[in-house]
Amino acid sequence: MSFSTANYRVTLGGKQILKGLDITASAGRTLALLGANGAGKSTFMKGLCGLAPAHGSAIINGTELLGASAVKRAQLIGYVAQDLAHLDVRLSTYELLLLAQQGTARGWKTGKDAQRKAAEMLELLGLERFAESQPGQLSGGERQMISLALALVRSPQLLLLDEPTSALDLANQLQILDAVSTYTRAQNIVTLAIFHDMNLASRYADDTLMLHQGHVHCSGSTRSTLTPENLAHVYGVDCRALSVDDGAFTAIYPVSVLEPA
């Protein structure tokens, strides 16, 4: 059970954004995808979903994603996008959870199984109170939580999270990321998550990969990768790594922007 890419490339508007990435990620683990604004993190995920033109290879548990049909990709991938405008529809969260389980959009077939899974997902993420709400009428953070429920309800093998907690308050950040970690381990899926908050990456990602100028700058265990040296190189910021609670957590504190070399 694993995910890997080989010579993974994306060109947009004549500019090569990703220049041949060789990435591996293990099942049951969360890999943080880091990099400065515009590094190509969102583009990486969009290419896997068929929303950007990707070349090379990207394999989840033996199945090639690039060139696979939209239906096949939807079976394999759960995706929480950065922009959630597509949730602005006249359907309730519960209805969307049922609809998300349809392999194709040909009529409604809401069996007992789909209803049970929808209810389970609401409970897992503590979203029961939003079952009858339309996501378009909820806050950005609430939409992010519902988007995660929609990604998980189809039991994906690969979970892609694009800044999944950017609009969440502190309690919801921890609640949602705890749920993601537990789910990733329990279901033995591969989770890739884009973070801007280094402290969340430090706490929740087993492994970390930093993108820089279209290449992988470094990758490995989060402990070995999320270092002041790598952060200085990729973000141009002088950071300190601080031990919290006798080493239970490592906090990253940004001190100052570095002069360009």
- Residues of the shown chain interacting with ligand ADP in the complex, contacts defined by CB under 6 A: 12-13, 17, 35, 37-43
Lay out the site mask for Mg ion across 193-212 (x = CB under 5 A, - = otherwise).
--------------------
Q: Which residues contact 170 (CB under 8 A, 6 or more apart)?
A: none
Q: Which is nearer to ligand ADP, 13 or 62 (CB)?
A: 13
Contact 160, 78 (CB under 8 A): yes
- Nearest distance from C-beta of residue 236 to ligand ADP, angstroms: 15
Give the one entry of ligand ADP, Mg ion, none that residue 247 binds, where binding means its C-beta sits below a cut-off of 5 to 8 angstroms depending on kind.
none
30 and 206 in contact (C-beta within 8 Å)? yes
Of the two residues 41 and 143, which places its CB atom closer to ligand ADP in the complex?
A: 41
Residue 37 near which of Mg ion, ligand ADP, none (CB within 5-8 Å, type-dependent): ligand ADP
Residue whose beta carbon is closest to ligand ADP: 13
Map the footprint of Mg ion across residues 15-44, applying CB under 5 A. Answer: 42
What does the buried/exposed string (b/e) look like for 81-94 if buried means 16 or more CB atoms within 10 Å of the residue's CB? beebeebeeeeebb
Nearer to Mg ion, 38 or 247 (CB): 38
Whether residue 190 contacts residue 158, with contact meaning beta carbons closer than 8 Å, is answered with yes
Pairing mode, strands 237-244 and 249-257: antiparallel
Alpha carbon distance 10, 139 (integer Å): 33
Q: Footprint of Mg ion on this chain (CB under 5 A)?
A: 42
